[in-house]
Amino acid sequence: MLQLGVNIDHVATLRQARYKTPVRGDQPEPDPVAAAREVEAAGAHGITVHLREDRRHIHDRDVFLLRKTIRTRLNLEMADVPEIVAIAEKLRPDEVCLVPEKRAEVTTEGGLNVAGKSLPRTIARLKKAGILVSLFIDPDPTQIRAAAASGAQFIELHTGGYSRDPRQLKKLIAAAELAHRLGLRVNAGHGLNYQNTPGILAVPHLETLNTGHAIICRAVFVGLRQAVREMLALMRP
Ligand code: PXP
């Protein structure tokens, strides 16, 4: 059964919009930890957060509290940089998704270049800590072959291209087939919404869709539980 990981970064984005530098007496809200409880109550299968180097939304406090409180799976998106790798080893999320990170971007833009020098060492360190490792990559055969050689167990196929041009679905299907043949497990995410998620069900071997922006936007109008339930309903063929 296809699973849903809900990215709750934007809940923290909203908190930071008001409470970037909290002063005494502030009770910063909304709390992503409370949002995770709602997401789980609605039946989602996991919580995804991106601890960025600049801490623009999710903070260290959030990830450590989530680790203690959630009952589903914790997927930590992160860049391959020493500070965050050390945090991941301490945190021990169920899964890490390694992503490229640029300070100037609004959200993760492209997939990872798996040929990066420190990647195999980082993957080995994370696996040694008992963490499943996923690589966020474009549906590109060269990257998929490199991912298969890297030691990572999963790839997360970048669906941003598909979200802008549904004709790219063919690329995702071919990429998932190749990844599966090479022994990789396959997730997907980025730019998925209530319109384009049904189309993604044509991609074989998918285990988890990681979706954030569309669900948090819908939640503004119908509440988080309902927004998650509606997305889950769309994921059932
Ligand atoms: N997967 C990865 C690796 C991401 O970086 C993001 C965005 O943080 C998502 C999934 C979720 O994308 P969206 O917010 O567009 O649903």
Give the amino acid at 60. Answer: D
Out of 10, 38, 45, 50, pick the active-site residue: 50
pLDDT score of 126: 98
Is the CB of residue 212 below 6 angstroms from any atom belonging to ligand 1? Answer: yes
Active-site annotation holds for 50: yes
Task: Report how many helices (DSSP H) and strands (DSSP E) the chain contains, helices first.
Answer: 11, 8
- Evaluate if residue 102 carries a pLDDT over 90: no
E strand map for 39-86: 46-50, 73-78
Q: What is the pLDDT of residues 183-195, one digit of tens each?
A: 999 999 999 999 9
Cis peptide before 166 (omega within 30 of 0): no
Instruction: Decide if 72 contacts 47 (C-beta within 8 A).
Output: yes
pLDDT score of 115: 77
Domains within the chain, CATH numbers bracketed: 3-15+28-234 (3.20.20.70)
Q: What is the pLDDT of residues 45-64, one digit of tens each?
A: 999 999 999 999 999 999 99
DSSP label at 224? H
Instruction: Tell me which residue has its CA closest to atom 3 in ligand 1.
Output: 136
What number does the ligand 1 atom closest to the CA of 216 have?
14
